[in-house]
Amino acid sequence: MTPSHGPADPTRPDAPAHACDERSVDARCVDAPLLELRKITKTFGDVVADRDVDLTVAAGEVHALLGENGAGKTTLMRVLAGLAHADVGQIIWHGEVVHIASPADAIRLGIGMMHQHDMLVSSLTVEENFELARPEPPLALGLTETGSRVTELTEHYGVNVRPDQRVDTLTVGQRQWLNLLRILDGREIQLLILDEPTASLTQAEREDVFRTLRDLRASGVAVILIVHKLSEVFEVCDRATVMRAGRVVARRLVTETTKEELAGLMVGHTIDTRLAGPPEAPGEVILAVSGLCTAGAEQNLADVSLEVRRGELVGIAGVDGNGQRELGECLAGVRRPSAGTVTVRGRDVTGRPPAELTRMGVARIPEDRHEHGLALGLRIWENIHLGRNASRHLIHRGVVDTARARRLAADLVARFNVRTQDLERPVGELSGGNQQKVILARELGDAADLVVAVNPTRGLDIAATQFVYEQLMAVRTRGGGVLLVSFDLDELLALCDRVFVMSGGRIVGEVAADGADRTLIGMMMGGEHQHVAGDAVL
């Protein structure tokens, strides 16, 4: 079966939008669809995650599923992957109604899903994780055979991972590959669902993933791709379905729309994408790192020194796995350096625990929201105060004033636009982007004057990303300092005053963001080619 349209033309990212009869988008593109969802509705108590959703996907197309945080994208895909059951609606596969009651059913049909949060077991090795993902009983094949299969796959896709490596030593990019290879391993995949696969990948890693998607498309596989960065839609997708508040609001051929139109359809209004104001005059040093070294880490730091002044937004660029994680951990108080010092407002805080940094007003947005950012089983309002009861004066005579805590949480939830009606629910029930907003509300809600943020916009929609940028700019404007570690060079250059480049655990260069030379930065990063990918928000 071939779709009646060609792939998106990446050389025409700004093709003019013209009025497009939405029903005709399906009619023109999909004569015999591989998959049809009809009127899918899925509720969780009072929350309607998806309502009357229709979606059609053809073999050999890459279909973007777009929408704000909480729009219902992940839930819809979980229905398809057998992880959630629709209250109402039909799934039609190759023209026949099917019932997908479990992930095993989905796998049998040839449907594989890569999840928004990876499900790898960190303490196990790569091959052991492969073993766990197989439909057969564990260890039916034996690890030796799995190991050689892993080697075959990694060599085929050019992924630099050994079967006996422990998963917690891998970079985010390598973990993503592992997730993808686990799905492609030995199964006849007809539909591949990717839920934000690129959220924390570098440009080069993203291009590798997209190349693989194009190859899969060429071999007739259908792909549903959830992304927030609209430039990626134009890089690799053929059609797009836009959801808002659980409903489909538009369908477009990628060649017949623009980033601006899609952004407007997602949020219901247009977005102001202008960033940074004029630079502030830098004041005194608020964060100083001097001669920092670590021992026993995956990528040890070697003599890292840098300063952030009041009124400055300082970036750290680099390919994942070059020491950024270790630096972030030293600054978050979860890793003790072997040499060197960290000073906050002139006070030596080297090796001090996280609680003390919190007391000193250091806001930290961690790389992994599940591992370091949230207690998923605790309520939303509890997560908003984690570690901050004292600074928010919530404790009286040893007892937490829960009424006040709930009130404050409700204010922060509203200010940071966390989409939830009920603060009593476990934070793990929120959509991925809304979980990230809970961390932001906790860390940035108290007008922090020093922020250390690692990929803070991971998984956020366009409006929420813009909001985070505004918050970080506001810290700088009110005379605070921000250290922003990001894999997204566009983001760094749009926001920062200065950018340090890390490679092999060292700072290998510093550039003023204004007028920075991307090729030079790319060379400093270790030869990685970075190209200009439009503006930072879209």
Binding site for ligand ATP (CB under 6 A): 44, 47, 49, 67, 69-75, 116, 419, 429-434, 461
Under the binding rule (CB under 5 A), the answer on residue 198 touching Mg ion is no
> Of these partners, ligand ATP, Mg ion, none, which one is at the site of residue 486 (CB under 5 to 8 Å by kind)?
none
Under the binding rule (CB under 5 A), the answer on residue 432 touching Mg ion is yes
Q: Which range in 112-120, 206-214, 236-244, 277-285 contacts Mg ion by CB under 5 A?
A: 112-120
> Of these partners, ligand ATP, Mg ion, none, which one is at the site of residue 184 (CB under 5 to 8 Å by kind)?
none
DSSP code for 379: B
> Of these partners, ligand ATP, Mg ion, none, which one is at the site of residue 49 (CB under 5 to 8 Å by kind)?
ligand ATP
The edge-to-edge listing of strands for the beta sheet with 312-317 is: 362-365, 450-454, 481-485, 312-317, 498-503, 506-512
Report the C-alpha gap between 37 and 149 in whole angstroms: 35
Instruction: Find the length of the chain.
Output: 538
At its nearest, how many Å lie between Mg ion and the CB of residue 80?
Answer: 13
> Of these partners, Mg ion, ligand ATP, none, which one is at the site of residue 72 (CB under 5 to 8 Å by kind)?
ligand ATP
Q: Which range in 28-36, 77-85, 111-119, 259-267 contacts Mg ion by CB under 5 A?
A: 111-119
At its nearest, how many Å lie between ligand ATP and the CB of residue 276?
Answer: 25
x/- map, 392-431, Mg ion, by CB under 5 A: ---------------------------------------x
Report the C-alpha gap between 65 and 237 in whole angstroms: 10
Under the binding rule (CB under 5 A), the answer on residue 74 touching Mg ion is yes
At its nearest, how many Å lie between ligand ATP and the CB of residue 451?
Answer: 22
| Token representation of residue 148 | 């050689």
Give the residue with the Cβ less far from ligand ATP, 117 or 359. 117
At its nearest, how many Å lie between Mg ion and the CB of residue 226?
Answer: 7
At its nearest, how many Å lie between ligand ATP and the CB of residue 502?
Answer: 29
Report the C-alpha gap between 202 and 206 in whole angstroms: 6
Burial class (CB in 10 A: 0-12, 13-18, 19+), 441: buried
Give the residue with the Cβ less far from ligand ATP, 75 or 174. 75
**Token pair 């005059």: residue:** 281
CA dihedral in degrees (396, 398, 403, 406; nearest 10)?
110
Residue 63 Cα to chain centre, angstroms: 19
Q: Which helix (H) or strand (E) holds 475?
A: helix 462-477
At its nearest, how many Å lie between Mg ion and the CB of residue 116?
Answer: 5
> Of these partners, Mg ion, ligand ATP, none, which one is at the site of residue 33 (CB under 5 to 8 Å by kind)?
none
> Of these partners, ligand ATP, Mg ion, none, which one is at the site of residue 75 (CB under 5 to 8 Å by kind)?
ligand ATP
> Of these partners, Mg ion, ligand ATP, none, which one is at the site of residue 410 (CB under 5 to 8 Å by kind)?
none
* CA-atom Rg of the chain in angstroms: 23
Under the binding rule (CB under 5 A), the answer on residue 200 touching Mg ion is no
Phi, psi at 24, each rounded to 5°:
-70, -25
Which residue number places its CB atom closest to Mg ion? Answer: 74
Give the residue with the Cβ less far from ligand ATP, 44 or 283. 44
Report the C-alpha gap between 402 and 399 in whole angstroms: 9
| Contact yes or no for 392/402 (Cβ under 8 A) | no
**Token pair 């070059």: residue:** 322
Under the binding rule (CB under 5 A), the answer on residue 70 touching Mg ion is no
Give the residue with the Cβ less far from ligand ATP, 221 or 380. 380
Report the C-alpha gap between 122 and 340 in whole angstroms: 29
Q: What is the DSSP string of 8-21?
A: --TT-TTPPP----
Give the residue with the Cβ less far from Mg ion, 56 or 74. 74
At its nearest, how many Å lie between ligand ATP and the CB of residue 53?
Answer: 11
Report the C-alpha gap between 335 and 249 in whole angstroms: 46
| C-alpha triplet 227, 232, 238: angle, nearest 5° | 95
At its nearest, how many Å lie between ligand ATP and the CB of residue 251?
Answer: 17
Report the C-alpha gap between 461 and 467 in whole angstroms: 10
Q: Which range in 66-74, 182-190, 402-410, 466-474 contacts Mg ion by CB under 5 A?
A: 66-74
Interface residue list for Mg ion (CB under 5 A): 74, 116, 431-432
